[in-house]
Chain A
Amino acid sequence: MKKCWIIVCICVLILSSTVYAKTTVAFGYLTNRSGNPNFNYMEIIFPNSFASSIEAVYDCNVIKPLKLNELLEKKQLTLQKHYENHELPQITKTIDCDLFIFGYFIPLPDNTIKIVLTLYESGSNQIFTFTNIGRMETEIFKIIDRITLVLFDFFGKNGFFMSKPIIRGSSVGLITNLNPEELNSMYAEFFNAGYSVIAVQGNELDSYYAHYDEIINYFQYISTDANSYDIITDWSKFTMTLGTWEGKKKKEWQEDLRKIYEIYDLNYKVFKNTVLEKYKKVYPNCDYLLFVVYDPSRTSCWARGIDIKTKQLIFMHSNISASGMSKDLQKTTRQLITVMQTPTALPQKYKKK
């Protein structure tokens, strides 16, 4: 009987290991946007380095740019240096990869380099873009490590991103889906952890956001100049059958729709930056604006953090949950505070390599 059990267990283990499919991460070019062809050689070197680093730290198969180009050529396509966001669902389908990563770099004055990477997860319709700046020669390996860490965090830790920790002593403005009583409990946890809380939402008798979860959930997607987590849109697919038979009213509506697109999609970041600039004056002591949305049982939350001074997305986590049996709002908040104040790092195994 005992033997039978052991055999069954071994079979289950073997089956589970064969069923498990590794994530395939494909790397496109890192386009040289400097206009100086002397830097062109980096277009492949950089993605190759990122691919090797992520392979060492994350259990995945990687496809490097040259190999990717070979795969595409078999389908009478070539790997482009740049893809528009709306092209990504199709390209990942063609390559049959889980993740597609590409980007660009610009060498900056004082021997630094700016690297912008875009990550697309197949079938998600969500795009994550982040920027990293570092010294060209002395820090190039540090840049690669930093970027590997961002990739590792994002894919390995529930969409986690941290460009810098939000340390104790900072002032935070909190926008949440909590009712006033719960908001007090959350504020108390921030006080106890050594933060100052700016009364952003807290200046209300009743919380508007507590009643409209749908609206507060829109803040899952935050686009800023350097770092963004956003939805891919393609207005070219948005068709309207209009012609000479349409009256004046319909044409006016069409014009209004065009304006909506221009203001609230195309130029949204410009408008938002103008508003955030005002935050600096109205809330001069506020360092960070945090959007924290809890699940109905308050045992988990997602969070996004914007640095008010730089107006950049600096912190993101899609699922923060406290450990242990009896979870509640306070425990979840304490876990959030722990996550946001702890600098992220690559696993020890990788460091030894």
Chain B
Amino acid sequence: MKKIFIITMIVYIGLLSCATKKGVVARKTSIAPGSRVVVIANHPNNIKNVIIARFMNKNYSVKAFNASDLYTIEDVYDIKDYKKVAYMQPLKNDNMVSFEKAVENIYKLHIYNYELSKAEALNDMRTKYGTQFLILMELKDWQKVSWARAIDLTNMEVVWVENYPAQYKDTLETVVDHFIASMSK
């Protein structure tokens, strides 16, 4: 009886761990070899080289663009400190709701604007570099899920997404090849 219980628990935990590492793939259009792409992955240069090399081997035209060329929201303006600054003011008031709402609206406007700034930067990527697709990729160790996503820069539409739980036999090259095969289907 005890054995059955232990086995059941092991199977259950095993199933749970599998459930957290679900693979996901969905696509709208195929990104065929020959397409002009920018591949952005936030990894050391030697890994970036491997990723780009795999794309070049499959005849993609890879534009020279680096993740570090892009700024992040935190580099631009440290908006998250704004609230702290606001609260540090000596406001001896019971009713802070009005002020809080104004501060929240600052954040909201900032986020609306931030999304616009990113889109304008991506538009430059299309017009100045002649890029068709932006490919975002994050490769992770075994037991974790690597993910990738492609955006058609002509209409800013997400055209392909995949979450790939790495297998025992996988290497960096095989994971990248898997992604390339998946997006070009």
Residues of A within 8 A of B (CB): 125, 171, 173, 175, 180-181, 184-185, 187-188, 191-192, 196-206, 208-209, 212, 215, 218-219, 221, 231-235, 237-241, 253, 257, 260-261, 264-265, 268, 271-272, 275-276, 278-279, 282-286, 328
Contacts and interface: CB of A to CB of B under 8 A. Distances in A.
A275 B147 contact: no
Given A191-B26, A272-B112, A231 B101 contact: yes
Contacts of A278: 116
A180 B112 contact: no
How many B residues are at the interface, by size bracket? 35 or more
B157 A198 contact: yes
Contacts of B28: 191, 196
Given A173-B115, A215-B80, A261-B98, 18 more contacts: A125-B97, A185-B163, A187-B149, A187-B161, A199-B156, A202-B149, A203-B119, A205-B136, A206-B72, A231-B101, A233-B101, A239-B93, A264-B102, A264-B103, A282-B156, A283-B119, A283-B156, A285-B156
A282 B123 contact: yes
Contacts of B89: 253
B95 A282 contact: no
A232 B97 CA distance: 8
Interface in B128-185: 134, 136, 138, 145, 147, 149, 151, 155-158, 161-163
Contact of A205 (B24, B40, B120): B40
Given A184-B147, A198-B157, A202-B149, A234 B101 contact: no
B102 to A, nearest CB: 4
Given A185-B24, A187-B161, A285-B157, A264 B106 contact: yes
A276 B151 contact: no
Contacts of B72: 206, 208
18 contacts: A188-B24, A191-B161, A196-B28, A198-B156, A198-B157, A202-B151, A205-B40, A205-B41, A205-B136, A206-B42, A212-B80, A218-B108, A233-B97, A234-B95, A264-B103, A264-B106, A272-B112, A328-B19
A282 B155 contact: no
B93 A219 contact: no
Contact of B157 (A196, A253, A272): A196
Contact of A218 (B73, B80, B104, B156): B104
Contacts of B27: 191
B58 interface: no
B114 to A, nearest CB: 8
B156 A238 contact: no
B164 to A, nearest CB: 10
A187 B147 contact: no
Contacts of B112: 272, 275-276, 279
Contacts of B155: 198, 284-285
